[in-house]
Amino acid sequence: MKLTVLGSGAGLPSKERKTQSIVLDLIPEINAYFLIDAGEALQHQLLLTNIKPRKINHVFITHLHGDHIYGLPGFLSSRAFQGGNDRPLHLYGPKGIKEWLELTFHISGTSLNYPLFIHEIGDGMKLEVEGYTVQVRLLEHPVDSYLFVFEEPDKEGSLDAAKLKEIGIKPGPIYAEIKNSKTFVHENITYRTSDFLGPVTLGKKIAIHGDTRLIKDDEYKKLIENSDVVIHEATFLDYENEKAHEFGHSEIHEVMELFSTLNIDTTIFTHISNRYDETFIKGIKQTLPTNVWIAEDFFSFEVK
């Protein structure tokens, strides 16, 4: 599992930063990508990677501000001619996303050669997507903006061959039969398969925010607690807490202070305002803990 930030900028793009798009690479797990948001330079950014548009089968839109959706119609149209024909795509986004796309396609005369399923989301929804659970939480922004929490299922432990040999079962096809059963019988004794399995591997948990003020309620903290990676916006970087709150955004130091009280392995900040030059951002980076990152375009993180 890998995360790639294709666009790391806020509302106005800069020469260094395009607007918001993030890819969750699940090729090793399910041979597909999840796309979160679709800023206007999405297609150009994809061309500079090895990501195949035809394998983006699920798109999640956090909110309907332009820096998060203006690349969506072009991407959906181009996918039709990039091996996406007959490959269904599911789109999840706030109320209004269906009307906007249908109107855009109608006026532009756009048709797709694959099924597009549009699911409008709401606060508290729990989605089941390709074996992953996706929890949806409404954030605090001038328009409805959402947090998506992606949770991978836990993986059953491996069969302990040494333990099986101890009771006299030699390696062979029977091992697969045992692994796929709850109990098994050997020499008239019934055993529980779970006693012959290694420890469970916990599934990964990734929390990706849309634009938002800092949220501090217990329900929210419980939702993102124990995440392997949290991606959060940091439109403001220089202690402008009141200004951030006024405009429905967050300030990086305030978010870090909250997250330091939670069990979060890695934090990645994105949605960086173009008011800060890269020299200033570099200075901020040098003060961060080792598990906190400020993303730039094409920033990639392997979720171990």
Indicate which residues carry an active-site annotation: 67
Burial 251-263 (b: 16+ CB within 10 A, else e): bbebbbebbeeee
Q: Coil, helix or strand for 274?
A: coil
What is the longest distance spanned by two Cα atoms in the chain? 74
Residue 283, judged by CB atoms within 10 A of its CB (0-12, 13-18, 19+), counts as: exposed
Residue 65, annotated as binding a ligand: yes
Residue 209 annotated as part of some ligand binding site: no
Query: Which stretch of DSSP H or E encloses residue 22?
Result: strand 21-25
Q: Are the CB atoms for 251 and 242 separated by under 8 Å?
A: no
DSSP assignment string, 205-219: EEEEE-S------HH
- 271 annotated as ligand-binding: yes
d(CA 291, CA 304) in angstroms, rounded, equals: 13
Question: Binding residue per annotation — 90?
Answer: no
Sequence ranges of the binding site? 63, 65, 67-68, 141, 211, 271
Sequence ranges of the binding site for Zn(2+)? 63, 65, 67-68, 141, 211, 271
